[in-house]
Amino acid sequence: MGKGQAMETALKASNAAKAGDVATAIAVLRQRFGDRLQTGEAIRRQHANTITWIPNQPPDAVIWVETGEEVREIVEVARTHRVPLIPFGAGTSLEGHINAPFGGVSVDFRDMNKVLAVNAQDLDCVVEPGITRKQLNEHLRDQGLFFPLDPGADASLGGMAATRCSGTNAVRYGTMKDNVLGLKVVLANGELMTTARRAKKSSAGYDLTRLMVGSEGTLGVITELTLKLSGIPEAISGGVCPFPSVEAACNAAIATIQSGIPVARIELLDELQVKATNLYSKLTLPEVPMLFVEFHGSPAGVAEQSERFGEIADDLGGGPFEWTTKPEDRTRLWQARHDAYWAGRGLRPGVQVIATDVCVPLSRLAECVTETQREIGAHGLVAPIMGHVGDGNFHLTLLVDMADPAEVKAAKILCERLVERALAMDGTCTGEHGVGQGKMKYLAGELGAPALAAMAAIKRSLDPDGIMNPGKIVAVE
Amino acid sequence: MGKGQAMETALKASNAAKAGDVATAIAVLRQRFGDRLQTGEAIRRQHANTITWIPNQPPDAVIWVETGEEVREIVEVARTHRVPLIPFGAGTSLEGHINAPFGGVSVDFRDMNKVLAVNAQDLDCVVEPGITRKQLNEHLRDQGLFFPLDPGADASLGGMAATRCSGTNAVRYGTMKDNVLGLKVVLANGELMTTARRAKKSSAGYDLTRLMVGSEGTLGVITELTLKLSGIPEAISGGVCPFPSVEAACNAAIATIQSGIPVARIELLDELQVKATNLYSKLTLPEVPMLFVEFHGSPAGVAEQSERFGEIADDLGGGPFEWTTKPEDRTRLWQARHDAYWAGRGLRPGVQVIATDVCVPLSRLAECVTETQREIGAHGLVAPIMGHVGDGNFHLTLLVDMADPAEVKAAKILCERLVERALAMDGTCTGEHGVGQGKMKYLAGELGAPALAAMAAIKRSLDPDGIMNPGKIVAVE
């Protein structure tokens, strides 16, 4: 069955369900939640995919929840009436994770954003899923602590866990799988499951925490997170370093990792992305491939690391590496890096933006990026590239005029070929965006039929009625 | 149903199965594997639990496998005849993981110990499950790489993954969950599953790698591992530091972690353990609580870190911290640390050794260790303590005269109370040994009924006939 057909079948099922159960479920939930349940079209559309070319598939209703117990009540109603539930954090996901292809109820966590505990001595905290990373770091700053993951968007922590997100700091601090100590999750049977306690490590049974991280709401709804925290580094140094080619920049990243320098961030911007960034952020960087680099540690440590990185860059024909420990200079640069997505958009205002990512073994990174650049050029497309290259992970910001069918077709071919290329290099179809709807078709090619069958078996075992964010990650009969 | 009853029922089921299916399965497998299948009693007993007080429950046969395809064939036979399979690595597990309470076939990976690939640029390698960590590090040394996990015993990598092991380096390099990139696993349905590709990170679907790591052979049999590697540090400094009390030593560990010093190892030995180590390793350490500490990095980095640790120790009444970068001196000390288990045994030669561990949030560590010491004293038991205290994880080496029923009873109470204490402090019943048979009874108390039900549901979904190492981690009807 092709993708189009599958979508059509799904939509029919959705319409069928709407006629019966959803109306009853919404009536019951409206009784309970009053004005906190909304069914207006604008609100429903805002709670489905809006920022990529995946079609907007709105839920039937949206509820703003305030407690985990409320989530449990909603699950009970959903289970009784076999209605899909779609958890909603900040709505910044990119692969249609928040769409409602079978209709159902969107559960909005905006108002569940409390910090429940900060255990400074243990370097951990307990939060509700709706808190965003900026809100959390604002809360933590006075205690000299921070939550290091930085996906660019001001995503919610619940959403970050659900999509196994990472970002610019992952090369040093790991991804969400490494920074979630434990979760509370409402399962499809209405039970509240604790996945782990606060010990820093445990070998007590199946790793339910890691099973839930990255499950995109398809196995349960996260209602509480215990997160690892890090101390704000004593010193931070950072700067930018130009390179004669993307290849030289990637090789500098590889050499940095291999030589054991504990780089905190090492971000590639290709020529076009640098140009976009200069325009958007009013910088005057040379328009060549650039690495944005940052080191965390003691003052002596970050100075030593910065110098060693400068030597590596020099050996590869790059540089000069201009670095500083002055917060104002660093902040300006990293603000520009964080605005790279918006800068990219600025290259062709008004067109559709497709943000996609892949991740490959480090040794294949330069080849993967340069081949991708070549293909972008061959199609005459506009697509700046930036990447978390210490992890072998990079992003395309494809700018597509949806009114031009030939361009849309070329963009689709480019995206398909990008994934094929990454898989041929033993990489993954997504380093940090997740599968959602958009990348379901690639999973079998990446992991094979036995892994997909195992995922489907796990999905059925924990969600036999298929009410938990159906139509994402893995298809279940 | 009490534990005794459960065991009895299990044994009946086992005997029933033996009468029928196992005999046929063994006949079929003998035809295929010839002399590589053995049924002699001594061999069978060696392939069941031998090193703790958990009873020895031998399998019906042992097969030495040589390829993943052979494992697949064995699973097919086991499935047809509903016979349990128990994977066997180096046999160093501590909680009865390799016992065969329902009989069945032990699959010994000793001869599947090849390094299939070393991807030096990517800092990863692909190995067969039977390779031990010492064999692997011997292989890697010439390339300047090492696999950092160090559980003390020369365990097999397959077993280390299956039990989610960690060890002395985990505070810096993480546990097996952090160092396995992907696995090949033969599932109960006979399919060979790949859990992930070689990209350093991925958000493509459920985290099957982490689900398999720590599943103790109950969800499938690992036949290949892709592992993260680390560069051998440019410089290593290390030394020992005495403290006036266990509390001061634990507080020094906490302060070290909190101040962001990237310590590679930070190991507590209590007074009794130091005494045992002096005797066994012919050292003359002062018989007070000690931290063994090691730093990895650049020469300037490790010197700075060593000095900062010395200041922390001094502030807490400890020290002097004598450290060195000379390999021969460090090796002697760490050999003594690694021999701590044997040193502990030496305190009461001939008695039964019970090695058990818990892990608690760092802030509760000092309290947990000192309360445990107090209780050891109150019972008049002999039990040196050592711990990976940067993670909040510590071990008891309980030395028990099994001929003395009062002592056995006291030891059992001590172990129960140790787990209760750890759980009351929001810790875990096992930091790195796993659940096996010995700690099944604690899981419900630690994680609650919904988590246990979820584990059972996952187990049933991937192993409906219960042939994969049954009777471990979670009971399934």
Mean pLDDT, each 10-residue run in order, chain B (477 residues): 45 45 96 98 97 94 98 97 97 96 97 98 97 98 95 94 95 97 98 98 98 98 98 94 96 91 95 96 95 95 96 96 91 88 91 94 96 97 96 96 96 97 98 97 97 98 97 91
3-state secondary structure of B380: coil
pLDDT at A86: 98
Report chain B residues whose CB lies below 8 A from the CB of A165: 203
Phi, psi of B233 (to 5 degrees): -60, 145
3-state secondary structure of B261: coil
Structure tokens at B358: 């818990």
Shortest CA gap A234–chain B (Å)? 9
Can you say how many angstroms the Cα of residue B108 is from the centroid of all Cα atoms in its chain? 18
Q: Give the end-to-end CA distance of chain A in Å, rounded to a whole number.
A: 13
From the list A301, A392, A454, which residue is nearest B199 (CB)? A392
**Interface contact A255, partner B, CB < 8 A:** no
**Interface contact B469, partner A, CB < 8 A:** no
3-state secondary structure of B386: strand
**Interface contact A434, partner B, CB < 8 A:** yes
Shortest CA gap B223–chain A (Å)? 15
Can you say how many angstroms the Cα of residue A289 is from the centroid of all Cα atoms in its chain? 24
CB-based contacts of A378: which residues, under 8 Å, 6+ apart? none
Q: CB distance B200–A361 less than 8 Å?
A: yes
| Count of CB atoms situated within 10 Å of the CB of B134 | 12
pLDDT at B49: 94
**Interface contact A233, partner B, CB < 8 A:** yes
Helix or strand run (H / E) with residue A370? helix A365-379
Q: Which residue of B has its CA nearest to A205?
A: B473
Best residue in B201, B227, B388 to probe A by mutation, most A CBs within 10 Å? Answer: B201
pLDDT at B51: 86
Report chain A residues whose CB lies below 8 A from the CB of B191: 449-450, 453
Q: Which residue of B has its CA nearest to A161?
A: B203
Q: What's the rounded Cα separation, in Å, for the pair B469 and B50?
A: 17
Q: What's the rounded Cα separation, in Å, for the pair A429 and A415?
A: 10
Phi, psi of A395 (to 5 degrees): -115, 145
Shortest CA gap B272–chain A (Å)? 26
Q: What's the rounded Cα separation, in Å, for the pair A200 and B172?
A: 12
DSSP state of A352: E
Cβ density class A423-435: b for 16+ within 10 Å, e for less: bebbbbbbbbbbb
3-state secondary structure of A359: strand
A:B CB pairs within 8 Å? 292
Q: Which of B206, B201, B378 is nearest to A212 (CA)?
A: B206
Q: CB distance A442–B197 less than 8 Å?
A: no
Q: CB distance B457–A462 less than 8 Å?
A: yes
Mind spelling out the 3-state secondary structure of A90-135?
CCCCCCCCCCCCCCCEEEECCCCCCEEEEEHHHCEEEECCCCEHHH
Report chain A residues whose CB lies below 8 A from the CB of B435: 203-205
**Interface contact A170, partner B, CB < 8 A:** yes
CB-based contacts of B11: which residues, under 8 Å, 6+ apart? B101
Shortest CA gap A113–chain B (Å)? 23
pLDDT at B329: 86
List, as own/partner pairs, every contact residues A459-465 make where C-beta atoms lie below 8 angstroms and the sequence separation is at least 24, other chains included: A459/A218, A459/A219, A460/B461, A461/B457, A461/B458, A461/B460, A461/B461, A462/A187, A462/A188, A462/A219, A462/A220, A462/B454, A462/B457, A462/B458, A463/A187, A463/A188, A463/A218, A463/A219, A463/A220, A464/A188, A465/A79, A465/A82, A465/A188
Shortest CA gap B93–chain A (Å)? 12
Residue B62: beta bridge partners?
A: B38, B106
Give me the count of residues in chain A: 477
pLDDT at A78: 96
From the list B187, B427, B455, which residue is nearest A450 (CB)? B187
Report chain B residues whose CB lies below 8 A from the CB of A205: 214, 435, 443, 447, 451, 455, 473-474
Q: CB distance B430–A203 less than 8 Å?
A: yes
Q: Give all strands (DSSP E) within B260-418, no chain letters.
A: 263-269, 290-297, 322-324, 352-359, 385-388, 393-400
Q: CB distance B230–A166 less than 8 Å?
A: no
Shortest CA gap B2–chain A (Å)? 21
Give pTM, 2 decimals: 0.95
Q: What's the rounded Cα separation, in Å, for the pair B392 and A200?
A: 7
Q: ipTM score of the complex?
A: 0.95
Report chain A residues whose CB lies below 8 A from the CB of B233: 260
**CA dihedral sign, ordered A150, A153, A154, A158:** negative
Shortest CA gap A204–chain B (Å)? 6
pLDDT at A18: 44
Can you say how many angstroms the Cα of residue B249 is from the centroid of all Cα atoms in its chain? 24
pLDDT at B7: 46
Q: What's the rounded Cα separation, in Å, for the pair B91 and B160?
A: 11
Q: CB distance B450–A194 less than 8 Å?
A: yes
Q: CB distance A207–B260 less than 8 Å?
A: no
**Interface contact A304, partner B, CB < 8 A:** yes
The burial class, CB within 10 Å (0-12 / 13-18 / 19+), for B144 is middle
For strands A145-146 and A230-231, give the pairing. Answer: antiparallel
* Alpha-carbon distances, residue A328 vs A135, A290, A409 (angstroms): 21, 20, 44
- Specify whether the CB–CB gap between A220 and A462 falls below 8 A: yes
Residue A19 has pLDDT above 50, yes or no: no
Q: CB distance B123–A362 less than 8 Å?
A: yes
The A residues from 126 to 165 touching B (CB cutoff 8 Å) are: 163-165
Give tens-digit pLDDT for A353-373: 999 999 999 999 999 999 999
From the list A202, A207, A360, which residue is nearest B430 (CB)? A202
From the list A199, A230, A446, which residue is nearest B204 (CB)? A446
Q: CB distance A443–B204 less than 8 Å?
A: yes
CB-based contacts of A113: which residues, under 8 Å, 6+ apart? A127, A128, A130, A131, A132, A135, A156
From the list B175, B362, B426, which residue is nearest A197 (CB)? B426
Give tens-digit pLDDT for A68-96: 999 999 999 999 999 999 999 999 999 99
Q: Which of A110, A215, A97, A109 is nearest to A162 (CA)?
A: A215
Please, what is the average pLDDT of chain A? 94
Q: Which residue of A has its CA nearest to B451?
A: A193
**CA dihedral sign, ordered B411, B413, B416, B420:** negative
Report chain B residues whose CB lies below 8 A from the CB of A167: none
- Specify whether the CB–CB gap between A348 and A411 falls below 8 A: no
Residue A193: beta bridge partners?
A: A185
Cβ density class A262-273: b for 16+ within 10 Å, e for less: bbbbbbbbbbbb
**CA dihedral sign, ordered A158, A160, A162, A164:** negative
**Interface contact B250, partner A, CB < 8 A:** no
**Interface contact A387, partner B, CB < 8 A:** no
| Count of CB atoms situated within 10 Å of the CB of B297 | 24
| Count of CB atoms situated within 10 Å of the CB of B460 | 16
Q: What's the rounded Cα separation, in Å, for the pair A452 and A422?
A: 19
**Interface contact A250, partner B, CB < 8 A:** no
The burial class, CB within 10 Å (0-12 / 13-18 / 19+), for B237 is buried
Shortest CA gap B455–chain A (Å)? 7
Q: What's the rounded Cα separation, in Å, for the pair A278 and A310?
A: 23
Give tens-digit pLDDT for A295-353: 999 999 999 999 999 999 999 999 999 999 999 888 888 888 889 889 999 999 989 99
**Interface contact B262, partner A, CB < 8 A:** yes
The B residues from 87 to 126 touching A (CB cutoff 8 Å) are: 119-124
**Interface contact B208, partner A, CB < 8 A:** yes
Report chain A residues whose CB lies below 8 A from the CB of B203: 163-166, 175, 214, 428, 430-435
Longest dimension (CA), chain A: 69
Q: CB distance A123–B362 less than 8 Å?
A: yes
Tokens 């008891």 belong to which residue? B396
Q: Prior bond to A286 cis, omega within 30?
A: no
